Structure 1
Amino acid sequence: MAVIRERRLPKGNLTLQLPIPEGAAAAAPATANDCCKGFSIPRLQPVAGPAPPVPSGGEHRLSDFEKIKVLGQGNGGTVYQVRHRRTGAVYALKTPVADDTLLRRQVLREVEILRSTDSNSVVRCHGVIPTPSGDVALLLEHMDAGSLESILAARGNRPFSEPALADIARQVLLGLSYLHSQKIVHRDIKPGNLLVNSSGEIKIADFGVSKIMRRSLDPCVSYVGTCAYMSPERFDPDSHGGNYDAYAADVWSLGLTVLELHLGHFPLLPPGQRPDWATLMCAICFGEPPELPETASSDFRDFISRCLQKESRKRWSVSQLLAHPFIAGRDQSEADRMFREVISTASTMS
């Protein structure tokens, strides 16, 4: 097995976030399978250097907004639904944890990327607001239907239909096509970072660990993002990264995301199993491809297999996947309708 170098694992960038089904918290933690015995997990290394200065807000102040409710919360901070006191406009306000050097760097990276993008497939940033701690909060477009993760949970983890999945895959691929054309690799595509509005539009969010590829052969294999959705070459580039293509990692993550929505649970582990780092690494790099139900169509099976090739050079590109029969051979209006039906069902059940 290839040795994973310590320098690829900066402190705090690796997360094991997975949707844990109800009741799973009482289960014993999973242990790594035989392929991981003797594997030395690298130590987390601190990030050197002072935090960079934050940009000036200028247009807005925190006092201009009233908080309505919490939309999400994590190690990086809290996202609130807020209303502008004067105009009544509703936004999402992303506030970071104060005095965290790494998180400040991620916020600044997200600001840089959001300011450079202009696409209906990417969540819009309406402003950058200074906070009392010296950090900044991001004033973002509010997506009123939540995320694909929250929609799946609201439906009791009931699988999505294939037409709805085709619409989801098409929209996300269009977003990735735009980002990749701007030399941006997202590096954290997952259900929780794909936001949805009540019209059925999907927008890519959370660019804190994304990378702008300054040169065509820039390395992009560091341990950042959510571990569970990382591609094999980001764990072990020597074995899986031949003819290196940084953008292929986003395709792998999309494939896992679509398959999760099809199965109703994270595809690389049995339902209810709690993940640990080594188990996930083994499942991603050495495990067998996930089994699909007998009811899955041949087009869907082929689409997923094109996304989840362990060798990055064998994975289909975004443009190839957009032309795949699972997407291109389908009635788009029907697929749109089926996805809106999924959203409607989730809203009535939540």
Structure 2
Amino acid sequence: MEPPPVRSLGRYRIEGTLGAGAMGVVYRAFDPRLDRLVALKTIRHELFETGERASLMARFRNEAQAAGRLSHPNIVGVYDYGETPDTAYIAMEFVAGRGLDLLLDASGGPVEMYTALGWFSQLLAALGFAHAHGIVHRDIKPANLLVTAHGRLQVTDFGIAHVESSTLTVAGSVVGTPSYMSPEQFSGAPADGRSDLFSAAVVLYQMLTGQRPFVGSSPVAVMQQVLRETPRAPSLCNPALPAAFDEVLIRALSKDPAARFQTPAALQQALTDAMGASGSAHGDHEIDRTVLVTAASVQTWSAAPAAESSRGDCVGSPAAWSTATLAGIEARLASQVGPVARLLVARGAARTAELSALVALLAPHIPSDKGRRQFTDAFADDVLTCATHRATPPDGSHFPHPSVEETQAAALKLAVYLGPIANILARREAARAASLPALYESLAITITNEHDRARFRRDVGLQ
């Protein structure tokens, strides 16, 4: 006979089931006291009969303690912890999104590079915050990463997190998911933040290549690969990837924790550097392989004289780009990258309606430093006219130009939404911006998602 359905837990009214895992069931519930939806995570009742009730309850309380200390946009919030005679539960933030594991299964292959890097940047931001608070997740995997409709990634399930001040998790215990576990987790050695970075690198490898770096017919086979084998270079699995990523990911998947990147910030910087290196090291055929464009995003326009000026397209809607302006930009870019310029300009024009932002989006695709300078210099006067117009207050005075520190801070804020390319865009735009507000404005319009763009503008004080 099936047990009766759960109608409530504590003050929470159960509305449905969101999923089930090894530990228990996750319910969709309503909190009448605060008038909001929550996700209730429970421990399976049958687990109490194994003689390990005290250990399980301690681990569950540990999850509440660990996650409850973390208030971050990329970490699922924990609101409450409670127990009944039959179970224990945690009330968590209800996230209207899908697990990354489901998104990867649905894609059936690699994720578009900039999308993957954007998600990964958010994952690193969450891990950096958690590690700074003494918490190691220890089970980073796609199923524990939720992606909202607006593209925000949030980390959940700190059920096996290790709080440095806790004695619950001891050396010698093996906890985690085999395909994403670090070598030290398999060997029972203490796991610190570098273990999370190893698991995160496995996730990035899977997103970029469409396959996991360590696979096998059994957990033992996977363990042997993690402990002994070096995975294939990502660019061999997905030729569309810049080869500069190979060194970064292989290092991030090192067997020795000391050989890996030591912090999330260091790994983020390495990816940013690899993005920059890929722009200067690749020939035209390489650039063509790294441009992933959907048919819907490619706009067409009739040919027009390349010599026509782009002046006048400072701000407007994407549809307001003139044929002459786009043809002129395409012609200048084509002299550096070849026929792929048409796709690059179409994609950029669909993302932004500002000349300075479009130039910033296109410049990284030019393979040489000299070529990039020539391209940006060709539009310098027009960009400066637009930036000065935006930045000059009504009284005719001028704000100070953005400093290096302000530019770096702006890049960090933008990276939450765009990933490693944010550093490139921030540097390019800072060189043109007549003020810090002008820099923020030009960076804001590079964010295509309206919700994220509005949030960025609030974060930097534009509204």
- TM-score bracket for this pair, using the shorter chain length: 0.5 to 0.7
Quote the residue 1:67 is aligned against. 14
Q: CA deviation at 1:77?
A: 0.5
Q: How many pairs align?
A: 267
Kindly state the Cα deviation for residue 117 of structure 1 after the two structures are TM-superposed.
2.0
Considering fraction of residues, name the structure with more helix.
Answer: 2
Tell me whether 174-183 or 98-107 shows the greater mean CA deviation.
98-107
**1:316 alignment partner in structure 2:** 261
Q: 1:253 maps to which residue?
A: 199
Structure 2 counterpart of 1:265: 211
- The residue aligned with 1:123 is 76
Which of 259, 263, 277 pairs up with 2:219?
277
Aligned CA RMSD, in angstroms, stands at 3.0
How far apart, in 1, do the equivalents of 2:446 and 2:229 lie? Answer: 32
Change (3 A) 1:294 1:202: same
Deviation at 1:245, TM superposition (A): 7.3
Report the residue type matching 2:29 in the other structure: V
| 8 Å Cα contact 1:195/1:202 also seen in 2 | yes
Q: Distance in 2 between matches of 1:72 and 1:261?
A: 23
**1:177 corresponds to which residue?**
128
SS at structure 2 position matched to 1:114: helix
Tell me if 1:140 matches 2:92.
yes
Q: Please, what TM-score do these two structures have when normalized by structure 1?
A: 0.68
The letter of the residue matching 1:224 is V
Distance (whole Å) between structure 2 residues aligned to residue 166 and residue 336 of structure 1 = 14
Classify 1:181/1:158 alpha carbon distance in 2 versus 1 (closer, same or farther; 3 Å): same
Partner of 2:228: 286
Greater RCO between the two (CA within 8 Å, min separation 6)?
1
Partner of 1:304: 249
**8 Å contact from structure 1 (residues 96, 136) kept in 2:** yes
Please report how far the alpha carbon of residue 219 of structure 1 lies from its aligned counterpart in structure 2 after TM superposition: 7.0
Q: Which residue of 2 aligns with 1:107?
A: 60
- C-alpha change, 1:68 and 1:219, in structure 2 (3 Å) is closer
Mapped contact 1:159–1:261 kept (Cα < 8 A) = yes
Unaligned runs of 5+ in 2: 1-7, 276-418, 426-442, 452-463
Which SS does the other structure have where 2:75 is aligned? coil
Q: Contact 1:157–1:265 at 8 Å: present in 2 too?
A: no
Task: Give, in angstroms, the shift of residue 64 of structure 1.
Answer: 4.0
Q: In structure 2, how many angstroms separate the alpha carbons of the residues matched to 1:182 and 1:191? A: 23
What is the Cα deviation at residue 115 of structure 1? 2.4
Q: Give the alignment of 1:1-350 within 5 angstroms.
A: 62=9, 64-84=11-31, 89-98=36-45, 99=48, 101=53, 102-133=55-86, 135-153=87-105, 155-214=106-165, 222-236=173-187, 246-269=192-215, 275-292=217-234, 293-317=238-262, 318-324=264-270, 325=272, 326=275, 327-330=419-422, 331=425, 337=448
Seen in structure 2, the aligned counterparts of structure 1 residues 175 and 336 have a Cα distance that, compared at 3 Å, is farther
1: CA distance, partners of 2:446 / 2:173: 36
Equivalent pair of 2:38/2:92 in contact (CA under 8 Å): yes
Offset, 1:284: 0.4
Q: Gaps (5+ residues) in structure 1?
A: 1-60, 341-350
Distance 1:142 1:245, change over 3 A: closer
Q: Secondary structure at the match of 1:301?
A: helix
Q: Deviations over 1:8-54 (max 9, x none)?
A: xxxxxxxxxxxxxxxxxxxxxxxxxxxxxxxxxxxxxxxxxxxxxxx
Residue identity in the other structure for 1:89: R
AA of the residue aligned to 1:115: G
Q: For residues 181 and 288 of structure 1, do their structure 2 counterparts lie closer, same or farther at Cα, with a shift above 3 Å needed?
A: same
Q: Percent identity?
A: 24
Q: One-letter code of the match for 1:83?
A: F
Alignment partners' CA distance in 1, 2:84 and 2:209: 41
> 1: CA distance between counterparts of 2:139 and 2:444?
29
Q: How far apart are 1:193 and its partner, in Å? A: 0.8
Contact 1:167 1:335 in 2 (8 A): no
Q: Retained in 1: the 8 A contact 2:68–2:79?
A: no
Counterpart for residue 346 of structure 1:
none
Q: 1:158 to 1:277 in 2, by over 3 A?
A: closer
